Amino acid sequence: MKFTQYFLFTRNRNDRYLRVILLEDKETIHNAFFDRSFKE
């Protein structure tokens, strides 16, 4: 299974990053969660 990951900065959620994982078609969300270990 191939997928693409995006990291989105969220100001409304204590300045955390949301990791969104999309499937190959780049439309279907496989998973989304706040990533506590993301480093800029």
Q: How many structural domains compose the chain?
A: 1
Overall average pLDDT of the 2-24 stretch = 89
pLDDT number for residue 39: 74
Q: Is residue 15 part of a domain?
A: yes
User: Model pTM?
Assistant: 0.70
Full domain range(s) for residue 13: 3-35
Q: Is residue 40 part of a domain?
A: no
pLDDT number for residue 28: 92
pLDDT number for residue 23: 94
DSSP-derived secondary structure for 1-40: --EEEEEEEESTTTSEEEEEEEETTSSSEEEEEEETT---
